[in-house]
Structures are given as C-alpha cells and as structure tokens.
Chain A
Amino acid sequence: MALITRKHILKPPAPAAPGVAISVQSLTKRFGDFTAVGGVSFEVGTGEIFGFLGPNGSGKTTTIRMLCGTIAPSSGGARVLGLDVAAEAEAVRARIGYMSQKFSLFEDLTVDENLRFYGGVYGLDGSRFTARRAHILKMADLIGRENELTENLSVGWKQRLALGCATIHEPELVFLDEPTSGVDPLARKDFWELLYELAASGVTLFVTTHYMDEAANCSRLAFIYRGDIVAIGTPDELRSREMRDRIFEVEVADTEAVLAALENDADVREVYMSGALLHVNMGEADGAAALLDVALARAGAAGAHASRVEPSIEDVFVHLVTREQRERSVI
C-alpha cells in the first residue's frame, strides 16, 4: 500500500477514470504567432466513436498529431490510454492505430507486402501475423488479391487495406484523419460498416471528417472552429441544445440567384446549399413559415415549395460556424 502511495507521489496520477480513452486539458499548439489549436479540453470514453468535425484548417489534424505524440503541444496536455502524450509518446504510439487521409500505403508494394511491412513495424511474430493477415484480408475483401500491386486497387479497397494496416497490431484506440475523403458514397458506407465492427469489438475510434452525413454515425461529436471547440455532445444533444432555430428546405429552379437574394434578406438568418436543395434558417421567430414565403417572393421565387425539416448535423454545424464568424467579427 505504502509503495503504491509513493509511486503516486513520484509520478502524478494516471487515474484515467475507468472508461476514459482520451482526456485532453487546455491542449494548445502555436506555429509562430499563429494559434492552430487554442486550448481545447474534452474527454473521449472507451468504445466511443468520437467525431471531430470542422472546416478545413480548423486544427483537426494538428490536434490528432498532438494526441499521437508526433508533435509536442505548446501548452496544456493530454492523456491517451492513461499515458501522457508528451512524456510517454513512444508507449502511446505502440498502442494506438493511425490512418491518415493519404492512406499511407506503398503503392509499388503488393497487398501482402504492405501487410508484411506493417506487421514487421509493429513487431508481430509469425503466428500472430498469419492470423492478423487472414483477418484483414477477409475484412477488407481482398482475398485472392494478395499479390496485386496496391496501385492497381480501387480507392475503396485501398482504404480498407489502409485500415487493416493501421490496425494490424490490434490497437485499443484508432485515430482516423478524414479516412473517407475522396471516396465514393457507396465505399464510404461500406467503410463505416467496418468502423462499426471495430467499435463493437471495443476499440475506441477518433474520426475527423468534413462529411456531415457521417457525423450522424458517431456516438459523440465535437465541433472545432479555428482552433476552438465550439460545441460538443451526442448528435441528438447537439441538435436539441444548440439548435432551436427553424430550418426549412426549399426547392427552387434557379438556386444560385435565390441563394444570393436570400443571403441579403434581413429576415433570413442563414441560407446554404444542402445537396441540390436550399436550407434556410429563419431563427427562432414565430410565424417563420409566413416570413419565409414573403422572403421567397422578394427573391423572385414566389410560391416555391418550402417545408420545415428537423435540423440535421449539417444545419447545426453551419449554424455554429456562422454564429462564431459573427461573434468574432464583432470583436
């Protein structure tokens, strides 16, 4: 008992509360006088699929790099799997998996050679490698293509192989940095199936994305904007807590002209494209539907079909980003 106590004195506690995979305190990264990540704090529970959302350049990759121990924080800190990312980076790296948007496969190596390489990097011995290889080939649907050059694989296959390579050592926690960028919707869906399987087996996933439809797949989400976390919670929480505004979906012929007109309309809070349709945020005002009809008439789209919809994650996201932009421009 005494021994344990002394240990605690020598080394500040690592009491990752049971079930906490990542715990981040005021994590900050500055490049010169530019602050890429401005003191973010959050926790990720074991087994979660934690979505990290933000526009390009908002600091997602920089945050992941600090959590993986590849760059040192300017201030603040984080514990990953109970380890300090700055002081115990090497131990962290042995226990996590990482998949970047570039897939990180060697294109001039075959499927098998890529697996063998990563197996060697993570020090898998013969029998464990054989088992993992078989598992990954099956998971990635690559059986029969072991000797194909990676450059000849379709993007979807590459993506699954990259996931296999990143998880060959069965990490407890996997960071995925925009793993689905540039992949067609069908392959993206398949890929998320694989992520669900991983999560179901107890692996914690930390996923960044800018695809809003994928955000709904996550068990919890954080929105990061210009280095700050502006909202965090489950998708449902975010929709109900952050969003009391009324959202309408509008179908018009000349979307661009109407979009431009509505953007300058005083009654319209936010307007943006969502797929082929316009999404219009009318704020919390009562009688929003009537106001919108008038606004549409002013925009030259009288009688256009508008229907109120439940706010999607994308609506929340646009709302939060617009709010941030507004607040920051006031300052």
Chain B
Amino acid sequence: MRAALRRVIAITRKEFIHIRRDPRTLMSVLLMPVIQLLLFSYAISFDVGNVPTVILDQDRTTASREYLAAFEHSEFFRVVDHIESDTEADNAFDTSQAKVALIIRPGFADAIAEGHKAEVAILIDGSEPNSAQLGRAYAVALSSTEDRHVLVSWAENQGLDMSAVGGLSPQIRTWYNPDRRSADFLIPGLMVVIIMIVTIQQTAVSLVKERDQGTFEQLTVSPIRRAELMVGKVLPWVLLAFVETAVIVAVGVLLFGVPLRGSVLALALGSVLFVFSSLAIGLLISVRASSVEVANMAGLLISFLPGFMLSGFAFPLESIPPALQFISYLFPGRYMMVIARSVFLKGADVATVLPQLIALGLYTLVSLTIASLAYSRRLS
C-alpha cells in the first residue's frame, strides 16, 4: 500500500512538472477562466438596461395591467409604444424602434386566478449579437419585477418573421434573481462551464500524451499498476479544478459582489462530484482518442458544446428540443448548474439540493466505472 502511494506520488509530481514547464497549458488553465469570467460578466451587465420595448396586451385585465405597470417602471426596459398586433411588433423591430416585444396573450388573468402559472411571451430582436444571452438576462429581470412566479416564454425573432416565431415552443421557467443583476446569475453558471471544460480537456490530453510519447510503454513494464497511473495522472487536475472553483467563487463574490447565500458545504460537495464526473468523461475521451490532437479536439467539443448549451447555462433546458434535453442528462453540467445557482441565488443547503447531489453522485459513480473499465480494457 505504501509502495502504491509512493508510485502515485511519483507520477503526480511528474505531472506537476509537466504543467509547470508548459506555460500555454498553465495559462489556459489558470488565467483563461478568469478572463472569460470578466469578459462574459461585463458584457452582459453593460447591456442590460434601458432597452426600447413595445407592449402588446391581448388580455386587457387588471392582472395584466398590474403586471405591465411593474414592468414599465423597471429600469431595464423603456416602453416606447403600446401596440395592437403581432404585425406591429414586427414593424417595431424592422424600424429598430424596439428591441424587445412583451406580449400577454388572452387568458393571463384566468390562469393566475386558477392558480396556474401564467405565461408571458417575450420576442427579442435576433439580429442583435448576443441576443440569446440578452434574452435570458431580460427574462431574469422581468420575472423579478413581479414578486410571484411568472412563467416567461421568449423567442428569438431571427428573421423578423412573426409566423416563424409563433412556431417556437414556449419555454417555461421560473427565475430567481431578486437583485436583477445578471452577473449573479451568470457567474455560478460560468463556474460550472469552466470547470467542466478544463477538467475534461486536460484529463483527456494528459493521458493521451503519455501514450503518444512512448513513455507509457515503459511504465507498463514497471511495477506501476494501471489504476495508480490513472490516479497519479489525474490528481493534479483534480487539485487544479478545486483551486479554480475557489478562484471563481472568490472573484464572483469579491469583484462582482455575487451573493453566496446558501451552504458552502453543498457547493463543495457538488463541486467534488462534478469534478470527478468531468474527469470520467476526459478519461473516456483519452481511451478512444488516437492522438493528442484528436483528444484536444474531442475534449473541446465534448466540453464546450454541452457545457454551454446543454447545462442550462446559455439556454434554459426546458426550451431546447426534447432530443437535446434527453442528451443533456448524459453530461454532468445540468446537475451542477442547478446546485450552483440554487446555492448562490436561492440560499440552498445540502437538503435542498439533495436530489441533484444524488443524481450527480450516481452519474459520477457510473461514469467513473465505465471509464475505468474502458481504460483498463484499452491497455490490455
């Protein structure tokens, strides 16, 4: 046992030297996340506010008027016109008179009265870059103007074609962000995305590199066991992922004033499971990849796309097509996203996010098992 530990330490120490000697990796691991964090957060928070908006109230009830009043007083939206039809919204976009159209369909008041969740549709000018990001930020702000759960549906008006917009399925989502600050919402999400990208990619690459170099063959003839090699090689990335998590949380809290309302323990537990599950994915990539370049590309693809698209970071998961929703369960991001946002914004403790923690725990267990099996099969 002591001998095994000694071997693992030898490998881990060697890995740290590799990392230290490779400034590019070190940069991308330690600095890039912070830069990304700054860019994303500032870009978003600057854009929110004073957005020209048109309003279409087809419900014409006290409830809808009350809702819209609160909305009109918000600092995020500047209501430029009350319109009568969808076509007018189209025109408003066309003439750049408005960037957002808020639409309350008939039945809004009835739904609330019956205790259902009412729906509001937001159309966003899709010609605007970053519109998806903005849309989400608007939705956040919007829901927070009303002190009750409002279901928001929004759609991107890509070609300014109202019939196409009408074809989009409404999204159902409850948002929490009482301070109406998008940074609060983004940073916990970014934390999840960045940890996932870094861990998956670096694990995949570092394992393939060993195989590529031919040093791996040497190690298979040494007393090192496969499991020791694997543990020794991924350990530095586990440690770095934790450091990174701490850095992002610190930057978020200290620099952006993101509140950390909930239990740090819940966040830590989630992070540990999340890092290990990402690692399992990296391991699986390394098993299949034939070269460092392939591992790099696959790592990027498999971490970036699901990280941004299928975790609930860029789009609420309820709004994406069912097939993609199904796929999103195959990546650990979505579980961790809920944990991170709940802990940061809703003040969740371990008990609150227990379902997500259990789901993530199971995911980690299964994925690590599959990865380890694939890994040892590949080597023999």
Contacts and interface: CB of A to CB of B under 8 A. Distances in A.
Contact of B13 (A98, A108, A117, A166): A117
Interface string B214-235: 1101111111110000000000
B117 interface: no
A117 B218 contact: no
A102 B217 contact: yes
Contact of A120 (B6, B21, B214): B6
Given A108-B21, A123-B3, A93 B10 contact: no
A113 B21 CA distance: 12
Given A100-B214, A102-B214, A109-B14, A121 B7 contact: yes
Interface string A153-195: 0000000000000100000000100000000000000000000
Interface of A: 68-72, 90, 93-94, 96, 98-100, 102-109, 113, 116-123, 166, 175
Contact of B223 (A72, A106, A122): A122
Contacts of A94: 223
Nearest to A92: B221
B272 interface: no
B161 interface: no
B221 A120 contact: no
Interface in B1-57: 3, 6-7, 9-11, 13-14, 17-18, 21-22
A98 B217 CA distance: 10
B6 A109 contact: no
Given A104-B217, A104-B218, A105-B215, A93 B7 contact: no
B13 A106 contact: no
A72 B220 CA distance: 13
Nearest to A124: B6
B209 to A, nearest CB: 10
Interface string B140-165: 00000000000000000000000000
Given A100-B214, A104-B217, 19 more contacts: A68-B221, A72-B380, A93-B221, A93-B223, A94-B223, A100-B218, A102-B214, A102-B215, A104-B215, A106-B215, A108-B22, A109-B18, A116-B10, A117-B14, A120-B10, A121-B222, A121-B223, A122-B223, A123-B6
B19 to A, nearest CB: 10
Given A117-B14, A120-B10, A123-B6, A104 B214 contact: yes
A69 B222 CA distance: 10
A118 B7 CA distance: 9
Which among A105, A113, A123 has the greatest number of chain B C-beta atoms within 10 A? A123
B223 A113 contact: no
Contacts of A71: 380
Contact of B17 (A69, A109, A121): A109
6 contacts: A68-B221, A93-B223, A100-B218, A104-B215, A105-B215, A108-B18
Given A113-B14, A120-B7, A123-B3, A70 B223 contact: no
Which among B10, B18, B215, B218 has the greatest number of chain A C-beta atoms within 10 A? B218
A106 B14 contact: yes
Contacts of B3: 123
Say what secondary structure dominates the interface of chain B.
Answer: helix
Contacts of A118: 222
A117 B6 CA distance: 10
Nearest to B379: A70
A106 B16 CA distance: 13
A99 B18 CA distance: 22
Contacts of B11: 117, 120-121
B18 A120 contact: no
A90 B7 contact: no
A173 to B, nearest CB: 12
B7 to A, nearest CB: 6
Nearest to B21: A108
Contact of A70 (B6, B13, B18, B220): B220
Contacts of B224: 121
Contacts of A108: 17-18, 21-22
Nearest to A165: B218
A157 to B, nearest CB: 17
Lowest 7 A-B CB distances belong to which pairs?
A120-B10, A104-B218, A102-B214, A98-B221, A108-B21, A94-B223, A123-B3
B214 to A, nearest CB: 3
Contact of B219 (A96, A103, A121): A121
Contacts of A117: 10-11, 13-14
Contacts of B13: 116-117, 120
B6 A93 contact: no
Nearest to B216: A104
B218 A122 contact: no
Which among A105, A108, A121, A175 has the greatest number of chain B C-beta atoms within 10 A? A121
A76 B220 CA distance: 22
A306 to B, nearest CB: 45
Which among A98, A120, A123, A175 has the greatest number of chain B C-beta atoms within 10 A? A120
Contacts of B9: 120
A125 B336 CA distance: 43
A106 B18 contact: yes
